[in-house]
Amino acid sequence: MSASLIVEAASVTKRFGDRLAVDRLDLRIPGGLCFGLLGPNGAGKTTTLRMIYGATQPSSGAIRLFGIDIARDPRAARSRLGVTLQQNVLIEALSPEENLRVFGRYHLLREPELSRRMREVIDFLELKSHARLPVKQLSGGFQRRLAIALSLMNRPELLILDEPTTGLDPAVRLALWSRVRELRAGGTTVLLTTHYMDEAQRLCDRVAIISEGRAIAEGAPGELITTHLAPETVEFDCAPEEESALLSSMGSLPGRRLRAGRRVMVYLEDATVLVDHIRHRDQGDRREMVARPTNLEDVFLALTGTRLEGAQ
């Protein structure tokens, strides 16, 4: 394993009885990146994360973190990890301060380092105004901030975030994105799963798209768009029987197009060419159209025929 690799999964497979959850998955994640796992529910993302941080054992294959075989020396690897699960794991009768103290002791932090680190993560996640209230009185956004704060108590080299912003309002999501960027800029490697395409495109240096337990594409977001589609997209409603006549009248057909119900998505280098053509053919703006940049949801749809759960 290269010294610069933080995570290396080699032909990892996980079965639950007859169900194949992860199928010969290979991942190589260098240090200092934000790396995203994308896919719908049931694709194998959370199972993959659980194997990476050692909560679930692979049926076959090997996982190394920081050059350490997670199966052989899980304690050494976990001491360098921070993990935020999909569901918050908090002691609701205690305050954020008290939760952080308890969790810090799990990592063998002692005074005065324990109090110093607690204050640092409270300031970093902007929890000070609610630090002494019982957790059960906190909003969902503050509880999520606290869950992430717990995973930072040991100054992890690798931070694993499983759908960190699902269900949060836009303001809280933006605040958490800012903190993830700061951590990455400070040298922390971040591995996250998400259903939100804007989240993946804004945060991730690289992503792997997973479908039915297999990685079907991997690369930088812009690289995946360039490789599989085109930079611009035109969306419009069109009956299936009308589509060919509408587009063939352009003279040269656009390269790639997909249909979801009545909605057609056409991917091309210059969206204005198609927009102008359709408006001319329709003799006006009668047909609703959207011209936009191509995104990772388009790539996923093109590769799998499935929209990402929760996509906006």
pLDDT attached to residue 308: 41
Please give the pLDDT value at position 169. 86
CB 281 within 8 A of CB 238: no
pTM above 0.75, yes or no: yes
- For the stretch 60-97, pLDDT in tens is 999 999 999 999 999 999 999 999 998 899 999 999 99
For the beta carbon of residue 152, count every other beta carbon within 10 angstroms. 21
- Supply the pLDDT for residue 251: 64
Residues paired with residue 12 on neighbouring β-strands, in sequence order? 25
DSSP label at 20? E
pLDDT of residue 2: 43
Residues 271, 264: Cα–Cα separation, whole Å: 14
- Model confidence over 261-299: pLDDT tens digits? 888 899 988 888 888 888 888 887 778 899 999 988 889
Record the tokens describing residue 89, joined without a space. 């794991």
Please report, for the chain, the start and end positions of each structural domain, with discontinuous segments joined by +.
Answer: 230-293
pLDDT digits (tens, 9 = 90+) for 129-183: 999 999 999 999 999 999 999 999 999 999 999 999 888 888 888 999 999 999 9
CATH class of 230-293: alpha beta
DSSP element (H, E) containing 192? strand 189-194
pLDDT, tens digit (0-9, with 9 covering 90-100), for 99-129: 999 999 999 999 999 999 999 999 999 999 9
Contact 196, 170 (CB under 8 A): no
pLDDT of residue 250: 72
Q: What pLDDT is attached to residue 94? A: 96
The region of weakest confidence among 18-32, 65-79, 84-98, 233-247 is 233-247
Cα gap 99→120, rounded to integer Å: 14
Helix (H) or strand (E) holding 69: strand 68-69
For the chain, the maximum distance between any two Cα atoms, rounded to a whole number of angstroms, is: 75
